[in-house]
């Protein structure tokens, strides 16, 4: 006993395991039917045994105390989150499971289980899913994550359609469901006649809201094409405005005694204010955030904090005014994304990305678990008619709505939506936690049948999440809906896209047609002129081609640095594939060697560049040179490592070129070919490997060179100087190699390739002057690339090595 302030805490049963551990500390357990706070019991040990408060004034010193109420709230929160994450781990242990059943279903099941346990222990449902908790803490991270990584271009291209579905579609659904349910309620046989029209309309409005959380959870695994995804997801985001308005509207109508026409107009005006107001708040705070990050270069560590704070601020500010918080935070995230990314450091960017993902994942997990937990309880009232008709009408009206609306919007779209698309859009209209929370928020005084509503909502949510969630994947495959194709970003594609944009804008201009491109162009100009100057710290006009190129370079540099010299992963696209075409079959081991060597030594893009530029340089691989070059290479690699560590994204491309041009493509080749185990540290072995150098030096690179070389020839632009020099080198090395026949037949390199060589002198920074001094050549010594084609036999051997690539 002991009257420890003891109102039973709701989640007390969670402490059962804790209790077991702390059994030793509990001297006096509360002898009630429910397992109670050990904390209370512990306090009982601390104070005099008499519960009535009489007896000793003194207490002994406590060796061991247990004070649960002190840490209760954080403790419970931590336990919940931990439980959610453990559940997630559990699902992924069986790797096939998440692909069949979406995680959301599994989480709800776990929640149900837990709820059952708690209910069984306490005889009442745990009020964990507080609507406030949901709307203020759990929902924002998910929406933020979605908004931040939304493909803005696609979103705006389809904005009209999305808006149409969100506003008109939700209205259609809400009113349709409301009215038809009212019709059902009129049938006295069902015992529902006390539900008024307004109540039905309110119910309709809250159940017609497509839920972004559920949509995200289900769609992320099935990978439909981006267009479809953005339509469904965008709709779920934008319909928040309508939902908020309708919900509040009908709720107040229910509570008002008379409804005047003016109220209806107020409702319509409210919609505009809610939607536009929310967006404005979001954009405004997004700009402020971008502006703030302009000045944060001295305190990089708290940069991510600004992103989160401002977006959350936009959400709660909007909620404060009863505007649409979801739209506010989405607008804020989309605005911030553009500018903040350029102001923050690479590390902050990574932090932001991962932290956001983590938060949203945790939120989502918690939401579904709580939904499961809150389902179990006593706040249900079952009525077959109401529940089943609700479900039926939800499905029917959604399908009808999508169909009718699409017919209308297809007139305005240039790419009409097919039936398949429509089906997926209708099928993807999942309901989720938002309706759930909204229904809990209904004031019971005004809604005597609140429990009935709760039951109906739960049934609909479970149906959509479970049945639709599980079956959408096989349906997508059955209908052969176009899937998204995740390919490696390629510079050439970016170039084509850019080029194409220009072409289209030009044509639209010629036609005098103000299409998407026209507005996008205008916005871009405005952006460049004013916004970027204001919001970005060092404003350099950015081209997506260049940034993609840089990004790819950096990525490969990092990969290379990370893997040391032991990478087995061929730098994806080009090089490896590139060489395929020109080689004759080679033995597998040789191929393996070559591949290994290649991958260790090449960057994707940079090497491409080099290939074009140095293809024809004779490979003067005397030992000293090989050694020098090896040293130089490692040195420059070290530098690159250092530089990539303190990555600054604003490094001009030219600087990169400078650094890496020094890397002879196949410096390592000789050694590698020889002995597979030789690492880069074996500098001294170049003498041995020299022979290999000649053979290995593949015509790997030269392949590219050859291509371009021939091209050049065709263009008949012989570069005399270059040719001469090349010849010298060739002659010089002839006695060493003894394979000069092919050399002379090689076409001359073109002038274009000289350019990068001019940067060679910068190699001075790498302190390799001795190299040039050694050979006494007017131009810097080219690496031992073999342009010189090896003898026939070697050629046989070398060429095909790339085949497997």
Partner 1 sequence: MGSAHSVPAEMRELADRTGFTSEQIEHLHRRFKQLSRDQLTIRNLRPESDGLADEINFEDFLTIMSYFRPIEMNMDEEQLDRFRKEKLKFLFHMYDSDHDGKITLQEYRNVVEELLSGNPHLEKESARSIADGAMMEAASICVGQMGPDQVYEGITFEDFLKMWQGIDIETKMHVRFLNMETIAHCY
Looking at 662-718, list the stretches that DSSP marks H as alpha helix, in order from N- to C-terminal side: 669-674, 686-696, 700-715
Region of 53 on the Ramachandran plot (φ > 0 left; ψ -120 to 50 alpha; else beta): left
Rank residues 383 and 505 by Cβ distance to partner 1 and give the closer one: 505
Which pairs count as long-range contacts for 255-259, CB under 8 Å and 24+ apart, including other chains? 255/443, 255/446
Rank residues 265 and 412 by Cβ distance to partner 1 and give the closer one: 412
Distances (CA, A) of 439 to 306, 397, 631: 34, 20, 71
What are the tokens at 574? 């080009």
Cα–Cα–Cα angle for 762, 765, 769, rounded to 5 degrees: 80
CA distance 709 to 403: 58
Looking at 158-225, list the stretches that DSSP marks H as alpha helix, in order from N- to C-terminal side: 159-164, 170-186, 197-207, 212-222
Rank residues 265 and 499 by Cβ distance to partner 1 and give the closer one: 499
Count of CB atoms within 10 A of residue 144's CB? 26
Whether 282 and 327 have beta carbons less than 8 Å apart is answered as yes
Residue with tokens 């902050």, as numbered in its chain: 348
Nearest to 781 by CA among 660, 572, 621: 621
- CA 532 to centroid of chain Cα atoms: 24
Q: How far is the CB of 752 from partner 1 (least distance, A)?
A: 7
Q: How far is the CB of 691 from partner 1 (least distance, A)?
A: 24
User: 445 in helix, strand or coil?
Assistant: coil
Rank residues 356 and 583 by Cβ distance to partner 1 and give the closer one: 583
Rank residues 96 and 487 by Cβ distance to partner 1 and give the closer one: 487
Rank residues 356 and 575 by Cβ distance to partner 1 and give the closer one: 575
Region of 223 on the Ramachandran plot (φ > 0 left; ψ -120 to 50 alpha; else beta): left
Rank residues 265 and 500 by Cβ distance to partner 1 and give the closer one: 500
User: 483 in helix, strand or coil?
Assistant: strand
What are the tokens at 205? 């409005």
CA distance 803 to 577: 8
Q: How far is the CB of 581 from partner 1 (least distance, A)?
A: 4
Rank residues 285 and 708 by Cβ distance to partner 1 and give the closer one: 708
What are the tokens at 481? 């809906």
Q: Which helix (H) or strand (E) holds 304?
A: helix 303-320
Rank residues 298 and 487 by Cβ distance to partner 1 and give the closer one: 487
Rank residues 258 and 485 by Cβ distance to partner 1 and give the closer one: 485
Q: How far is the CB of 801 from partner 1 (least distance, A)?
A: 12
Q: How far is the CB of 427 from partner 1 (least distance, A)?
A: 22
Q: What is the DSSP string of 574-594?
A: IIIHHGGGG-----HHHHHHH
Q: Over the range 547-584, which residues count as b (16 or more CB within 10 Å of their CB) and which as e?
A: ebbbebbbbbbebbbeeebebeebbebbbbebbeebbe
CA distance 470 to 484: 19
CA distance 706 to 615: 7
Q: Dihedrals φ, ψ of 224, to 5°?
A: -80, 170
Q: How far is the CB of 559 from partner 1 (least distance, A)?
A: 16
Rank residues 242 and 708 by Cβ distance to partner 1 and give the closer one: 708
Q: Tell me the β-bridge partners of 224.
A: 483
Whether 38 and 14 have beta carbons less than 8 Å apart is answered as no
Q: How far is the CB of 789 from partner 1 (least distance, A)?
A: 12
Q: How far is the CB of 335 from partner 1 (least distance, A)?
A: 24
CA distance 611 to 618: 13
Q: How far is the CB of 523 from partner 1 (least distance, A)?
A: 16
Q: How far is the CB of 711 from partner 1 (least distance, A)?
A: 5
Q: How far is the CB of 703 from partner 1 (least distance, A)?
A: 9
Nearest to 584 by CA among 770, 797, 785: 797
Rank residues 1 and 507 by Cβ distance to partner 1 and give the closer one: 507
Rank residues 390 and 574 by Cβ distance to partner 1 and give the closer one: 574
CA distance 604 to 574: 7
Whether 627 and 686 have beta carbons less than 8 Å apart is answered as yes
Rank residues 479 and 545 by Cβ distance to partner 1 and give the closer one: 545
Whether 391 and 459 have beta carbons less than 8 Å apart is answered as yes
Rank residues 219 and 612 by Cβ distance to partner 1 and give the closer one: 612
Q: How far is the CB of 547 from partner 1 (least distance, A)?
A: 11
Q: How far is the CB of 601 from partner 1 (least distance, A)?
A: 16
Q: How far is the CB of 153 from partner 1 (least distance, A)?
A: 12
What are the tokens at 81? 């989150």
CA distance 306 to 288: 10
Q: Tell me the β-bridge partners of 576.
A: none
Rank residues 608 and 779 by Cβ distance to partner 1 and give the closer one: 608
Rank residues 542 and 643 by Cβ distance to partner 1 and give the closer one: 542
What are the tokens at 209? 């809201």
User: 224 in helix, strand or coil?
Assistant: strand
Rank residues 58 and 538 by Cβ distance to partner 1 and give the closer one: 538
Q: How far is the CB of 198 from partner 1 (least distance, A)?
A: 41
Q: How far is the CB of 639 from partner 1 (least distance, A)?
A: 19
In terms of Cβ atoms closer than 10 Å to its own Cβ (0-12, 13-18, 19+), residue 610 is buried
CA distance 490 to 497: 11
Binding site for partner 1 (CB under 8 A): 414-416, 485, 487, 490-493, 495-500, 502-504, 507-508, 510-515, 540-543, 545-546, 549, 573-584, 604-606, 608-609, 611-612, 652-654, 657, 704, 706-708, 710-711, 714-715, 752, 755-756, 759, 799-800
Q: How far is the CB of 155 from partner 1 (least distance, A)?
A: 16
Crossing angle of helices 212-222 and 469-479, rounded to 10° = 40
Q: How far is the CB of 170 from partner 1 (least distance, A)?
A: 27
């Amino acid at each position: 006993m002991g009257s420890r302030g003891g109102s039973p805490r709701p989640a007390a049963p969670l402490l059962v395991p804790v209790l077991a551990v702390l059994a030793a500390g509990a001297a006096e357990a509360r002898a009630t039917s429910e397992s109670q706070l050990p904390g209370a019991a512990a306090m009982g040990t601390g104070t005099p045994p008499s519960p009535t408060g009489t007896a000793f004034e003194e207490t002994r010193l406590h060796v061991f105390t247990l004070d649960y109420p002190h840490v209760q709230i954080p403790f419970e929160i931590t336990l919940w989150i931990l439980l959610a994450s453990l559940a997630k781990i559990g699902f992924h242990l069986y790797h096939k499971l998440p692909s069949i059943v979406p995680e959301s279903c599994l989480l709800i099941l776990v929640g149900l289980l837990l709820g059952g346990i708690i209910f069984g222990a306490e005889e009442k449902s745990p009020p964990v899913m507080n609507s406030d908790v949901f709307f203020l803490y759990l929902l924002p991270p998910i929406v933020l994550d979605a908004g931040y990584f939304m493909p803005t271009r696609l979103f705006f291209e389809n904005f009209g359609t999305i808006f149409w579905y969100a506003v008109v579609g939700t209205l259609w659904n809400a009113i349709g469901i409301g009215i038809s349910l009212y019709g059902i309620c009129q049938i006295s046989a069902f015992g529902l006649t006390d539900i008024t029209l307004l109540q039905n309309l309110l119910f309709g409005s809250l159940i017609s809201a497509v839920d972004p959380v559920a949509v995200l959870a289900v769609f992320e695994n099935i990978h439909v094409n981006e267009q479809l995804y953005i339509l469904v997801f965008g709709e779920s985001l934008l319909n928040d405005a309508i939902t908020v308005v309708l919900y509040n509207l009908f709720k107040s109508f229910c509570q008002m005694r008379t409804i005047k026409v003016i109220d209806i107009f107020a409702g319509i005006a409210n919609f505009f204010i809610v939607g536009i107001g929310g967006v404005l708040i979001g954009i405004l705070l997004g700009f402020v955030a971008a502006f703030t990050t302009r000045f944060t270069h001295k305190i990089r560590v708290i940069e991510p904090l600004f992103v989160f704070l401002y977006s959350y601020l936009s959400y709660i500010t909007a909620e404060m005014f009863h505007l649409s918080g979801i739209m506010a935070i989405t607008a804020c995230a989309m605005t911030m994304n553009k500018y903040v990314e350029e102001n923050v450091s690479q590390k902050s960017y990574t932090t932001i990305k991962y932290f956001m993902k983590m938060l949203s994942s945790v939120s989502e997990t918690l939401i579904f678990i709580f939904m499961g937990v809150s389902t179990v309880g006593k706040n249900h009232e079952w009525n077959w008619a109401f529940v089943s008709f609700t479900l039926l009408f939800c499905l029917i009206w959604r399908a009808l709505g999508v169909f009718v609306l699409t017919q209308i919007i297809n007139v305005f779209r240039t790419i009409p939506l097919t039936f398949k698309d429509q089906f997926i859009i209708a099928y993807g209209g999942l309901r989720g936690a938002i309706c759930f929370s909204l229904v809990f928020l209904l004031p019971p005084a005004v809604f005597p049948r609140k429990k009935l509503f709760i039951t109906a909502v739960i049934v609909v949510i479970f149906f959509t999440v479970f049945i639709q969630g599980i079956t959408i994947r096989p349906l997508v495959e059955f209908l052969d809906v176009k899937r998204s194709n995740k390919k490696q970003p390629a510079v050439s594609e970016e170039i084509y896209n850019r080029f194409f944009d220009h072409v289209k804008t030009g044509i639209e201009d010629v036609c005098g047609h103000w299409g998407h491109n026209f507005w996008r162009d205008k916005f871009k100009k405005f952006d460049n002129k004013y916004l970027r100057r204001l919001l970005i710290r060092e404003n350099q006009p950015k081209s997506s081609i260049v940034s993609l190129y840089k990004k790819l370079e950096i990525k490969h540099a990092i990969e290379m640095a990370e893997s040391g010299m032991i990478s087995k992963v061929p730098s994806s696209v080009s090089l490896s594939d590139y060489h395929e075409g020109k080689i004759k079959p080679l033995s597998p081991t040789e191929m393996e060697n070559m591949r290994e060597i290649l991958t260790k030594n090449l960057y994707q893009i940079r090497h491409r560049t080099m290939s074009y530029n140095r293809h024809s340089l004779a490979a003067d691989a005397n030992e000293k040179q090989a050694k020098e070059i090896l040293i130089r290479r490692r040195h420059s690699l070290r530098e690159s490592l250092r530089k990539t560590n303190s990555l600054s994204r604003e490094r001009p491309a030219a600087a990169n070129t400078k650094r890496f041009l020094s890397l002879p493509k196949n410096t390592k080749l000789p050694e590698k070919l020889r002995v597979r185990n030789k690492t880069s540290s074996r500098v001294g072995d170049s003498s041995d490997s020299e022979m290999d150098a000649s053979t290995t030096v593949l015509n790997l690179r030269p392949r590219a060179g050859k291509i371009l070389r021939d091209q050049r020839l065709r263009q008949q632009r012989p570069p005399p100087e270059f040719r001469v020099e090349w010849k010298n080198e060739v002659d010089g090395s002839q006695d060493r190699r003894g394979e000069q026949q092919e050399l002379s037949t090689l076409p001359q390199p073109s002038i274009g390739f000289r350019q990068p060589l001019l940067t060679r002198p910068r190699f001075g920074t790498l302190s390799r002057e001795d190299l040039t001094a050694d050979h006494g050549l007017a131009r810097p010594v080219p690496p031992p690339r073999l342009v010189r084609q090896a003898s026939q036999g070697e050629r046989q051997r070398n060429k095909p090595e790339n085949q497997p690539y």
